[in-house]
Structure 1
């Protein structure tokens, strides 16, 4: 080969390398090597996972700058596209300006402004800027907003102002009812309302399933102006608590309506609406029939489904103001999140989880499991490994769940093992990592789970999804749902080598062994009841590998019926 051929080849190689770099910069979901150390000595040498993600962010920013420079070189050839981009930028600027509107512009009462100041907020989020003015005007509002959007204050501020302006006192009874689907969301909403009412004289109450009913009834009879409730307990008090005054109700708020329907509260909601004062009444004045607005209604949901529309038709007698903070967004998840997944052989799942948690003991981490049995077992197993954890699941009593929730919220660091009972509505501050150890039932559940991190403006968080090789098709559905994910790799050699020791512990410890069997069984039953059976096919599971992940040397002998119906499986398995 002569020198001219060599020069041409070098030039071609250079062009190809430049093209490859450009493709790599544009490619989403690129694979990153995430190294998890095995021992303490390696921890000093190895790079922290958080540091690596921060470096990836810096690399991505540099790549975006390079891309911007390339786009500047081609501006003259794309004038029409540039005009379109300018319009999009203007829309984005308008949204940013809307989100920067100060609470002081709303004309709120001084007690409410003092409370907002104490909470530490100056400007409104998008949903607050859009919903609060409408609710202050006593308009009905139908809102679509996810967790972390600021919708709780968007609902409560107008409610508090309404009670203040109407001069409600205890003898007037209940003026505003806020219905929440879960006890945890009800407690969080109650805490937020308590902060807002700090400088007001109006009374606040909480009624929910699992709490002492007699004490609730006594407080209702004395007079609760702002009532936070779960559907079942509210219906109980409406039907059975004598002296509960709700005839003066001025506003009904339904939060997380989609979750309400998922929890099968639809029939209870219909009964509640029938018992509460009507939205409008007709009267004859000066010989003419006139319609008087008695109460306003606000309904918020993270998603808009047919069932949500049905409940909206039931709630609203007039067309509500529609508020959708998702307008103009290109992605479904919260901004500020770093979303990733790792492909891990089924047998190595727990070892990777343990190695990851051991590395992040100084962080705040939530780990999601598919059943309460799995939560209980992994809690016990991790404690054997000297990794302390919190746990929340549906089999716990109310007092336990309340105290755990409070302790984890107040902790500067900690690991919370949970089922989807904690996936929505709980505003747990400063969660660094969401680990989805067991995949969610569908993409929207993934979004609900990761909503626990990156709350508020300029917040950052990380989410990690565990997938076995057979589940990779799930990524296509996440992509279709506009959930951007990148792959994290891990070094097998650097995982903690404790598998044989753990199998020995589980084999010898009777109670841990029984717990492991229940968790193993529940995992398979939950897998069989998965809604996306074409991906999560129980018949394709390697039961030996699954058993290894639960620290068995071989599949335990348990009662399984893989061909049973979904409903039967759900009854048998440990529920969330």
Structure 2
């Protein structure tokens, strides 16, 4: 029952109702009073019962009403419960579907994670294998093997100790054991990796154990592409042979040929030579004893091919004994080098042994050494020299090498910088050998200084403690870039920096460098730090006759060198603001009788390179004859004259011509 109903029923009995009086009239007698009292009590009882029955009826009615209300409420509650159950079922269904989706996603993710884990496990395994291999071989350039562990003579070991070498480099550790066993070896390693000691130590041991003496003649020949590299190799061999009795010497272009012949006649057991001069002595020096040659070493084979010494080397191979050990080292491996290697390793028909290939950089991710910081800057033509001047002036207490594209450019910039108070030296192919040698060794011994050079100093030379390599003119190819920057950061823990100057049109060269595993960072020069000296420089060059002539030659050589680039899609001479003066062309066409329609085929164009000329300190661009095909035409004309001429005595076996009638050899040799 509801609380309201209960309150109502409990309140009703307390009500007093007025009842009608029923019975006989009042009397004074005792009987009447008794009768009256009894009748009154019965009536009251009846009334009370009636009232209770009424109350019960009311309570029943109220209870039925309450029950109806409760039933309605129960119905509402059941409907709500049904809706809740329905919603709950729908929610559970949705949750099941989501759970299925989540399960599928988790399965996919788990599958993907498993694949990634497997991939990472494989990579970790490879990395661990590499680390284990690296740990067994050593880190960086050096290996874990010691020179004291090599099976070499005490005389050589003592010299190595005095040179302060303890650990072998990677190329030395892999190649020296094979060379000591007198096997043919073809080696490939970065510049500055220790190739010189790798072939000199076994060569010296070979001479020691045979043993060789001066009367036996030459037992080992080392062929180098340049004079400077030959002199440097000779000096290293001299240190290694300090306690040996065998003799040592070198023959290079530019030296006195007669004194070299006298030296060979006395007997040189280990001979270092450049290709042209070696072939000369093989052909013309009768006192040169080489029939007992045991080993031929070819250093920097790729550079030898680049300098067009292939024909000379073929002649050398034919003249030297076939039963010999052959060693070939190269910084880069190209199809031309492989072809050349096959030719150099040709032996007699009885020998079927193949050369051992040793490569230490095949799996490296970088083509340059670890301690080298490399960058480039994009500079317009007219600002190039100003930036170079500012850089060199700031770094005068450092050791710097600056590379140019031509000999004339090196000569002019050396003269101009010295005139401006920046002391520098220069090396190029047009210098006499004595000056080149003196300059080279002076720079090697110097703690600081600036050396301007061409590619003649780009390969093989071991110049200690070079801080900066600046490539003022970009190289022909990425491999030339690698060789140039190899002059710094040499040896274990070596550090250095390299800077490449590029024109805006030459930025595509970076793509080729990246393909060659060379990555550069862009450097920006603050224009406030670049002095505004252009007008002052123009006055100097305009007023100084010798500087003016030198600048013109450098300007012309720069354009010709630019035109000779092998990568024409990047280094296009026609992108250098070439402007031909129509009046000049018409005047020349008229003067020589050329038709203006065909004048481009016959006339040497007079051109003006405006921005380029500014980098050579010209106020008004000079007019110079730039016959871009003249060199090739002169070469073809010369070859026709040689082939069609008479009494010159030139042939494949005697490329230097006929001797005098009296038999005296007075021919001039100016080859490498």
Note the C-alpha offset of 1:553.
Answer: 1.5
What is the aligned partner in structure 2 of residue 302 from structure 1? Answer: 331
Q: SS at 1:489's partner residue?
A: coil
Question: CA contact under 8 A between 2:219 and 2:292: conserved in structure 1?
Answer: yes
Which residue does 1:453 correspond to in 2? 488
Residue among 265, 278, 282 paired with 1:234? 278
Task: Check the 8 A contact 1:235/1:268 in 2, yes or no.
Answer: yes
Q: State the 4+ residue runs in structure 1 displaced beyond 6 angstroms.
A: 74-77
Alpha-carbon distance, 1:561 to partner:
3.3
Equivalent position of 2:155 in the other structure: 111
Aligned to 1:321: 356
Cα drift, residue 106 of structure 1:
0.8
Superposed, which structure 2 residues align to 1:315-464 within 5 Å? 315-316=344-345, 317=347, 318-464=353-499
State how far apart, in whole Å, the 2-side matches of 1:196 and 1:90 are. Answer: 33
Aligned to 1:480: 515
Residue of structure 1 in register with 2:624 after alignment: 558
User: 1:187-202 to 2 correspondence within 5 Å?
Assistant: 187-202=231-246
1:390 CA displacement: 1.0
Residues 344-384 of structure 1: CA deviation (Å, up to 9, x unaligned): 11110000000000111111100000001100100111011
Decide whether the 8 Å contact of 2:136 with 2:144 is kept in 1: no
Cα distance between partner residues in 1 of 2:228 and 2:271:
15
- Alpha-carbon distance in structure 1 between the residues aligned to 2:633 and 2:392: 34
Using CA pairs under 8 Å that are at least 6 residues apart, name the structure with larger relative contact order, 1 or 2.
1
Q: Does 1:220 align with 2:259?
A: no
Q: Which structure is larger by alpha-carbon Rg, 1 or 2? A: 2
Change (3 A) 1:465 1:190: same
In structure 1, what is the equivalent of residue 112 of structure 2?
none
Q: Distance in 2 between matches of 1:160 and 1:462?
A: 36
State the 1:89 CA deviation. Answer: 2.7
Distance 2:200 2:529 in 1: 50
Aligned equivalents of 2:409, 2:470: Cα separation in 1: 15
**How do residues 213-292 of structure 1 correspond to structure 2 at under 5 angstroms?**
213-279=257-323
CA distance in 1, matches of 2:203, 2:119: 54
Moved more, 514-523 or 306-315: 306-315
Worse overlay, 304-313 or 458-467:
304-313
Other structure's SS at 2:250 match: strand
Instruction: Report how far residue 329 of structure 1 moved.
Output: 0.8
Structural RMSD (CA): 1.9
Change (3 A) 1:433 1:300: same
Contact kept? 2:190, 2:367, Cα under 8 Å:
no
Unmatched runs of 5 consecutive residues or more in structure 2: 1-115, 348-352, 578-608, 637-671
Distance 1:569 1:514, change over 3 A: farther
Inter-CA distance 345–247: structure 2 relative to 1 (3 Å threshold):
same
Q: Deviations over 1:118-168 (max 9, x none)?
A: 111001001100111110011110111232010000010001111111121
The TM-score with structure 2 as length reference comes to 0.70
Change (3 A) 1:107 1:210: same
Deviating more after overlay: 536-545 vs 248-257? 536-545
Aligned 8 A contact 1:173 1:225 in 2: yes
| Structure 2: distance between partners of 1:106 and 1:540 | 57
The alignment of Structure 1 onto Structure 2 pairs a total of residues equal to 483
